[in-house]
Amino acid sequence: MSRLLDLIRSGRGRVIVAVDDPLITLSRFKELVMKTKDVVSGFKLGLPYILSYGLDSIRSVITDFRDTYYIADLKLADIDVVMSLTTKVVCRVGFNGVIAHGFVGLKGGLDGLKSVCDELGVDLYIVTSMSHLGSTEIYDLVIDKVLSVVEGLRPTGVIAPATRPEVIRRVRSYLGRTYLILSPGVGAQGASPGSAICAGADLEIVGRAITSSQDFVKASEEVIKSQLKYLEVSRCY
């Protein structure tokens, strides 16, 4: 079972903080982790951030704060050999999970990546649909095929967009309760905190609403409070 589920069950907020923009300095990122790691469930680092600061710098933060959960959000979408090499490289610095695109398919693609993740003890999350409008142009048209790839693969969880709650409902209804659903698009991208959880997600991914704040703890606690309020008002329980 994923350590992420343990963290949720231990009472951390249902929030993963997304760190993408290199304008967030490394010392601010360290401060973010130090101050919010007992409030939120984990941190998702995007490709621009990891590339900007380099894996050695990221390792130094991860090593200092081991009692949380780190996802390398590289949106892997390559052949098995390349995705596996990448995963080996990033997980050496302590990431607990990686994200790959369902679009890539199993044979010679996600199948090989899954084996490497299993060997390394790393959680794998599969994108089933994305938070921007362009996702409706192609991705969402084949969502059933992507979900059947997920069923064939049996990853730790999937990614489905908070900006289109009907997609989260579709994903939850197709996959049942077996997989964690992580949902980006909350805050700056427009979805209200709590709305994705109400539609069936386990965790909401929040970036700028927390990382742009001067007070990380206050901003995180406000997101969590807003989630609870949304769930109560919308009678999601």
With binding defined as CB under 8 A, does residue 141 bind its own copies? Answer: yes
By CB under 8 A, name the one of 45, 122, 130, 167 that touches its own copies: 130
User: Rule CB under 8 A: which of 195-234 touch its own copies?
Assistant: none
With binding defined as CB under 8 A, does residue 22 bind its own copies? Answer: yes
Q: How many residues does the chain have?
A: 237
**DSSP 8-state code for residue 131:** S
CA dist 74 and 135 (Å) reads 17
Q: Are 83 and 21 in contact, with CB atoms under 8 Å apart?
A: no
Amino acid type, 110: L
User: Rule CB under 8 A: which of 85-124 touch its own copies?
Assistant: 85-86, 88-90, 101-111
Q: How many CB atoms lie within 10 A of CB 162?
A: 29
With binding defined as CB under 8 A, does residue 48 bind its own copies? Answer: yes
Catalytic-labelled residue, pool 75, 88, 218, 229: 75
Instruction: Return the number of the residue (129 or 195) whose C-beta is nearest its own copies.
Output: 129
User: Rule CB under 8 A: which of 149-168 touch its own copies?
Assistant: 149
Q: Which helix (H) or strand (E) holds 42?
A: strand 42-46
The DSSP code sequence of 178-229 is SSEEEEEEESTTSBPTTHHHHHT-SEEEE-HHHHT-S-HHHHHHHHHHHHHH
Least Å distance, CB 172 to its own copies, is 21
By CB under 8 A, name the one of 28, 81, 225, 229 that touches its own copies: 81
**DSSP 8-state code for residue 102:** G
Task: Name the site residues for its own copies (rule: CB under 8 A).
Answer: 20-22, 46-48, 50-52, 54-56, 74-82, 85-86, 88-90, 101-111, 130-139, 141-142, 145-146, 149, 189
